[in-house]
Chains A and B, each alone.
Chain A
Amino acid sequence: MKLTIERAALQKALAHVQSVVERRTTIPILSNVLVEARGDVLSLAATDMDIAILEKVPAEIGAPGETTLPAHTLYDIVRKLPEGAQIELEGEGEGKRLELKAGRSKFTLSSLPTEEFPVLDDGELPHSFSLPASDLRALIERTRFAMSTEETRYYLNGIYLHAAESDGIKVLRIVATDGHRLAQVEMPQPEGAADIPGVIVPRKAVAELHKLIEDSDETVAISLSDTRIRFAFDHVVLTSKLVDGTFPDYQRVIPEGNDKIMEVDCAAFAEAVDRVSTISTEKSRAVKVEIDKGRLTLTASSPEHGTATEELEVKYDSDPIEIGFNSRYLLDITQQIEGGTVRIDLADASAPTIVRDIADNSALYVLMPMRV
């Protein structure tokens, strides 16, 4: 195998691929990236047995061939090479050492045989549809904060992607929850998505996907079965197993009769919450929200540091209400709201509260109060 490639191109591809590779693993081959040179394309592949990624970059191929190389080491080397360097890779063949040269630097890397590299069986992916990357990004960005990190509730460790109907319009919807709050974002259903099964995309896949499409404006082709999902775009293919579990019936916990409606300037509200919560203790970060006609009062107190109060003008004319929230959860949600005004629908101090962007109906957040 022999090839030459520009540093920037290789680094970008490697950055994507190596981030799937776990730092510590008991199976040595999983630390490696599969490097394959054919025609004028260099393909890089990596997997952790749950997620597999394949990225192709154009390169000048002298002699075709394939090998596997330690992913993190290779990435670190490439990253540290000077900008604009031409990188030369040369190896005698499979399972042998491989030489990497750039300018005056020379590295000899040990490789593992390519047969050991696991091939994840894609199986049949009967459903497919495509989305602009920007739309997919918006869906993910506004829901991923609510994913659970608690391993025992594995079925919440991801985002729930499914087809639904909202006010008679068919939509593609993503829901995430950690049991304390819930985020639900939807978009008009793309063609081919009507019959998809509801699937839970695991947290790590969501994170990797988000990294990949961060600055892409292409179209993402999504194919899925009820055990696997594949995202294909640019020159990258990301395949992930799905979480084998049942997502809870989230619609039951979204309240409908919340009749105390408050509207407030989102930025001002977020800033005030942030300021007031400075005083509350490190871990629970409770803020108390008192709402009366046209006025909202935020208070936080800590026996150690004292108390904080801030008043805001709001649009509200129901009965006064007093309710507590975890300030971090409030801030997480207000960060997702791009419009100027946030609308909060309340019922009472122990009932779920709905937060949404007044100018945007596609997203809805449910937040459970805290008893203070």
Chain B
Amino acid sequence: MTIRVLPETLINQIAAGEVVERPAAALKELVENSIDAGATQIDITLRDGGRDLIAVADDGCGMEPDEMALAVVRHATSKLPDSDLFNISTLGFRGEALPSMGAVGRLSITSRAQGADEAWQIVVEGGHKGAAIPAALNKGTRIELKDLFFATPARLKFLKTARTEINHAVDVVNRLAMAHPGISFTLTADSRSPLRYDSTQGELLDARLARLAQVMGREFADNAVAIEAEREGYVLSGYVGLPTLNRGNAQMQFLFVNGRPVRDRLLLGAVRGAYQDFLARDRHPLIALFLAAPPREVDVNVHPAKTEVRFRDAGLVRGLIVGAIRHGLAGAGHRAATTVSDAALGAMHPASGGPALPYSRGGGGGGSRGLSEEVLRFQAPLSGAFGSGGMPLPGLDAPPMAAVPIYDADEEVLAAPLGAARGQLHETYIVAQTEDGIVIVDQHAAHERLVYERMKEALAGEGVKRQVLLIPEVIEMDEAACGRLLAQADDLAELGLVIDSFGPGSVAVREVPALLGETDIGGLVRDLADEIAEIGEALGLKERLEEVCGTMACHGSVRAGRRLTREEMNALLRQMEATPHSGQCNHGRPTYVELKLADIEKLFGRR
């Protein structure tokens, strides 16, 4: 066998295997080119899921005919002006996309360079480049990619249904649209209703929120907290959803590094870390975070599709994200998602079988399902009480209440965010009146969270007590896992777990958190090692400690079914206002629902 250099066409087809994996990947490259070209309007057309046609037209800077001829040659690009791979400020830089597409499909580029009098077109089919011919185009560039993968039939067979491919394409456009609110996007695909994102002007943050609302839904925009933080040249901004707004999967988590959508384990791990104490393990928050990193600090040349990035100082980035999200959520204090009250209102519509809100039908708003039922339950006895004229409402007739006149409109208390307690229903729910609505509080969930927050504060204040072990527990693991664990030994010691090296391939545990009592140390340490490998931080230990606190908090708090006096109820409401994160329980369920007067009036047809 002799060794030979492969023909150019074959090389491009091989490169296409990585870059143009499916129509959505080709689309991503094209749209990124448009963005890099400074376009303000990008129109996308797909036919048969992108198999027949992918067309991207923009109003960017365009290309001269000789540039066009060069653009379809491999490793030719305009985007690395100083040939420095570590100073990348554009989305693309590899110079691979266009030749790859030309190698696996029929590519035609029509472009009119800024200020030029005419437009030119160049066609590449299955790797064979034609000559540039004059064409008609007003402005920018229009690229059409027809019969994708006609030159690589095997790849063609791997394509999924048109619908699936379109969904992937929409996902790509969504992500890019989120990162670039100043650009208008339209997407027309077969019979699917066209997607249209108008460019939003104004302050970057406002524009971004408007775009996020378009892509992720109004619900997110209403329940998001703005994040802004900066550390050593890294600037993090964006929006994170309140914990009560959560989903069963992490699909609604969008991360961007220098305008580039990425899916990165480190970053997703940091998000999980930040929400660790507010959500159950199987619930995921909604977030859109934009990280601007100095180009020299980040390596985007990890994967041809550029969805992975590497940071020079991963710990710093992680700390920045966790810190910023926590800070943002703490600022949100006791806010619970409005989705919850929407769902409640939806459930309260006259029971004639009217259209239920999507939330109450499973799927979307996970946190709200149980709640709508609670509200229904609370509805029924009310009518019963009026019907029979009997059954006293604890809040109205019970002796502890009698001393305080009900409508002593105490302005000061009414003005508080959670209002003045008016009564207790079913010895479980506190109903309070605010200036412009009513608040229903789950007394057990709310008090549990308060006790839990206090305990956590105490834990942080006095440190974790450590029980020294009589016989150090030696745990055998592979060397890499040991190394990872030992690298975090200081952090673990702070949480009460003292480990040190015990020869290669094993660690010795010398001290354990006293709070855990007698526990399966081996299992715990192995879990921690896995977790560090996966997300870069040992959350497990903190979670275990907080779980113990959580159980203690549950036992130490007011149960459902206990009758509270008005003073107790008001005290609880005031404490909730003063305590950060009191709007949800440890699992992301809300502790209270607020119904606005306007919404209630709508229920009765007053508006």
Contacts and interface: CB of A to CB of B under 8 A. Distances in A.
Contact of A248 (B458, B471, B552): B471
B551 to A, nearest CB: 9
A304 B466 CA distance: 20
B511 A371 contact: yes
Contact of B469 (A179, A301, A303, A372): A179
A158 interface: no
Interface string A315-336: 0000000001010000000000
Given A179-B473, A324-B465, A368-B468, A148 B518 contact: yes
Contacts of A282: 552
Interface in A335-372: 350, 352, 366, 368-372
A11 to B, nearest CB: 36
A149 interface: yes
Interface in A232-285: 248, 250, 253, 281-284
B470 interface: yes
Contacts of B471: 177, 179, 248, 250, 253
B468 A177 contact: no
Contacts of B517: 283
A152 B468 contact: no
A178 interface: yes
B520 interface: yes
B84 interface: no
Contacts of A250: 471
A180 interface: yes
Given A283-B552, A304-B458, A372-B465, A150 B470 contact: no
Contact of A149 (B468, B469, B518): B518
Contacts of A149: 518
A352 B468 CA distance: 9
Contacts of A283: 514-515, 517, 548, 552
Interface string B473-515: 1000000000000000000000000000000000000010011
Contact of B514 (A301, A352, A370): A370
B458 A303 contact: yes
B519 interface: yes
Contacts of A173: none
A178 B462 CA distance: 26
A368 B467 contact: yes
Majority SS at the chain A contact face:
loop
A255 to B, nearest CB: 10
B115 interface: no
Contacts of A370: 465-468, 514
A58 to B, nearest CB: 45
Nearest to B458: A303
Interface residues of A, number: 33
Given A283-B552, A284-B515, A286-B465, A182 B523 contact: no
Contacts of B511: 371
Given A152-B520, A152-B522, A352 B515 contact: no
B350 interface: no
Contacts of A148: 518
B461 interface: yes
B468 to A, nearest CB: 4
B458 A371 contact: no
Contacts of A369: 468
Contacts of A151: 520
Contacts of B467: 180, 326, 368, 370-371
Interface string B255-293: 000000000000000000000000000000000000000
A304 B456 CA distance: 12
Contacts of B522: 152
Contacts of A302: 458
Interface residues of B, number: 25
Interface string B541-552: 000000010001
B160 interface: no
B231 interface: no
B310 interface: no
Contact of B468 (A178, A286, A304, A350): A350
A228 interface: no
Interface in B201-220: none
A303 B518 contact: no
Given A152-B522, A286-B465, A304-B454, A253 B470 contact: yes
B470 A303 contact: no
B523 A152 contact: yes
B498 to A, nearest CB: 8
Nearest to A284: B514
A130 B546 CA distance: 51
A371 B466 contact: yes
B462 A303 contact: yes
Nearest to B454: A304
Given A181-B470, A371-B466, A150 B518 contact: yes
A181 B519 CA distance: 14
Contacts of A350: 468
Contacts of A182: 470
Contacts of A352: 468, 470
Contacts of B523: 152
B500 to A, nearest CB: 13
Given A150-B518, A150-B519, A283-B517, A177 B470 contact: yes
A372 B467 CA distance: 9
B185 to A, nearest CB: 54
A181 B518 CA distance: 11
Nearest to A283: B515
Interface in B542-589: 548, 552
| Residue of A352, A371, A372 with most partner-chain B CB within 10 A | A371
Contacts of A303: 457-458, 461-462
Nearest to A349: B468
Nearest to A250: B471
A80 B309 CA distance: 74
Interface string A67-85: 0000000000000000000
A149 B468 CA distance: 18
B8 to A, nearest CB: 62
A331 to B, nearest CB: 15
A237 B177 CA distance: 80
A190 B469 CA distance: 34
A163 to B, nearest CB: 22
| Residue of B465, B469, B518 with most partner-chain A CB within 10 A | B465
B374 to A, nearest CB: 31
A181 B517 CA distance: 12
Nearest to B549: A283
A121 B520 CA distance: 33
Interface in B66-118: none
Interface string A111-122: 000000000000
Contacts of B473: 179
Contacts of B518: 148-150, 178-180
A306 to B, nearest CB: 12
A209 B462 CA distance: 44
B547 to A, nearest CB: 12
A143 to B, nearest CB: 14
Contacts of B457: 303
Contacts of B514: 283-284, 286, 326, 370
Closest 8 A/B residue pairs (Cβ): A303-B458, A284-B514, A371-B466, A368-B468, A152-B520, A150-B518, A368-B470, A284-B465
11 contacts: A179-B471, A179-B473, A180-B518, A182-B470, A248-B471, A253-B470, A282-B552, A350-B468, A368-B470, A370-B514, A371-B468
